[in-house]
Amino acid sequence: MKQITAIYPGSFDPVTNGHLDLIHRGCKLFDRLIVAVAQNQEKGGPFFSVEERVEMLQAMTSELENVTVDAFEGLLMTYCIEKRANAVLRGIRAVSDYEFELQMALMNRKIEPSVETVFMMPAEKYSYLSSRIVREIASFGGPLSGLVPELVEEHLRRRIAEKRPATIEIPTK
């Protein structure tokens, strides 16, 4: 029987409960699921290094036997061929994700017709959750429980504390 290997690509900066919801759904559907961390080219640079993001994902998926975590650079379709993957897993949260995801899926199909993109929906409670919003809440010291695993919350709090500029002492005359 044909084995289905799927790649779940993303920046995962950091991994959220929405990503984990999708990983849990995906690993039931595919024989192998490779979570692939991409270098993101966001303005201001990434929040966590690729190595840190891979480590957090590994810690959160260690119990899932058919899930591995990797990092990749360059074209996703080149990486799929290298890994002999036949599917790409992507999440659709709201209608707003659809246009971008459709464009990506069709372009990837044009580049490599043997790889299918499969879309999955997370539980409703994660449908408004993104790494960007998590970083924003964390930077203002807001509540993160239920949005990211505790380990990720600890990493976020530590990174924010490191980034906070030192208090400037204004000398009084």
Give the residue numbers annotated as catalytic, written as ranges: 19, 43, 93, 131
Contact pick of 77, 115, 129, 152 for ligand ADP (by CB under 6 A):
129
- The dihedrals phi and psi of 119, each to the nearest 5 degrees, come to -105, 140
Structure tokens at 32: 């192998």
Site string for ligand ADP, 19-48 (x = CB under 6 A): x--x--------------------------
Report if residue 138 touches ligand ADP, rule: CB under 6 A: no
116-120/87-91 β-pairing: parallel
Report if residue 90 touches ligand ADP, rule: CB under 6 A: yes
Report if residue 132 touches ligand ADP, rule: CB under 6 A: yes
Q: Where are the alpha helices (DSSP H) in the chain?
A: 17-29, 50-61, 76-82, 95-111, 131-139, 150-163
Question: Count of residues for the chain?
Answer: 173
Q: Is the distance from CB of 158 to CB of 52 less than 8 angstroms?
A: no
Q: How many residues bind ligand ADP (CB under 6 A)?
A: 17
Mapped onto helix, strand or coil, the DSSP state of residue 150 is helix
| 15 versus 66: smaller Cβ distance to ligand ADP | 15
Binding site for ligand ADP (CB under 6 A): 10-12, 16, 18-19, 22, 90-91, 93, 97, 122, 126, 129-132
